[in-house]
Amino acid sequence: MRFLFALFLCLLISPALAAPTHITFVTDWKAQAEHGGFYEALAEGLYAKRGLDVTIREGGPQVNVPQLLAGGAADFGIGSNSFIAMNLVKENVPIRAVMAIFQKDPQVLISHPRRDLTSLAEMRGRPIMISDAAMTSFWPWLKARWHFSDSQIRKYTFNLAPFLVDPNAIQEGYLTSEPFTVEQQGHFAPKIFLLADYGYPGYANMVLVPQKWIDTNPRAVQAFYDASRDGWHDYLNGNPALANALIKRDNPDMTDAIIAQAIDKMKRYGLVSGGDAATFSVGAMTDKRWRDFYQTMQSEGLYPKGLDYTKAYDLRFMRGAFQNFK
């Protein structure tokens, strides 16, 4: 009788234990190849295999990822760059980056094909079109590291026409976006200067998780990390067809050509596999990189002295994933 009673309890309890953990994951923009590894993990069932029921909700120009996470409207989300996570610390919002998909921030400067520009140093003193957002992100770093000046600034309104018609123009861009659009509209390949290759610190395409999840369900956070890591590896090194189908389902404006060039650039420039990922696998972060980012931006007055920058991130899941990966 005791055995039968114990068996009955196991049967009663096991369905609840087996119920997958639901996670709504919101991205920082409309569905695109830059989110491909997450879609790959969903399409291949990698999240499901780890006990997760994941819904990917695409972002857009009106979507504020940290706000959605702070308000509980989404569970996990993408932080576009290190400024997002650091600003959350500055505002005392308990949300942390737990993995960094892009080891290099894809921020670039582009120019027409020209022989007199071969490095960032040679852009000093020349007019450069940048957006308002750049004024509190990469521009202070360009001023500090490469001695650029505010007198060089020209307004970039995300309209490529001024760049296309001016052979002397230099402007900001995103590695997987503006260069391809220039090729399509201008019929020439622009010169690309990836700021990360010149020492620009910081990660990009990070997974942000509220501290409440980290405290109450670290196993789910670890499972999401591990599945996403494997999804990105498969997306860039295997067959991305299933993931791309989901991307185009969510974003009908996405084309095979746009996806293909983005995948090529992510691989060619080592956005996902370079940096700390070369040692610790996809998604890795280190204290040193975060410290360097904070110190660089703090020296330019973007963050106060004494800010506890370590609250921007949590490395326990990277370390756990590395142990599992080995």
Angle (CA) 218-221-226 rounded to 5° is: 125
Q: What pLDDT shows up at residue 56?
A: 98
Please write the tens of the pLDDT for every residue from 190-229. 999 999 999 999 999 999 999 999 999 999 999 999 999 9
Q: What pLDDT shows up at residue 144?
A: 87
Cross-strand partners of 170: 111
Residue 39 CB partners (closer than 8 Å, separation 6+):
31, 56, 231, 235, 243, 244, 246, 247
pTM of the model: 0.90
- The tokens of 157 are what? 């309104």
Q: What pLDDT shows up at residue 13?
A: 44
| E strand or H helix at 277 | helix 277-280
Q: What pLDDT shows up at residue 1?
A: 53
153 by Cβ neighbours in 10 Å (0-12 / 13-18 / 19+) ranks as middle
What span, in angstroms and rounded, lies between the C-alpha atoms of 232 and 321?
14
Domains of the chain, start order? 20-103+202-325 (3.40.190.10), 107-198 (3.40.190.10)
Q: What pLDDT shows up at residue 300?
A: 85
Where the chain has pLDDT below 70, the residues are: 1-18, 321-326
Q: What pLDDT shows up at residue 12?
A: 47
Residue 250 CB partners (closer than 8 Å, separation 6+):
30, 31, 56, 58
- The tokens of 114 are what? 């020209």
| E strand or H helix at 317 | helix 316-325
Rg over CA atoms, the chain: 22
What span, in angstroms and rounded, lies between the C-alpha atoms of 294 and 301?
10
| E strand or H helix at 23 | strand 21-26
Contact 66, 35 (CB under 8 A): no
Comparing CA positions, the residue from 61, 58, 62 lying closest to residue 74 is 58
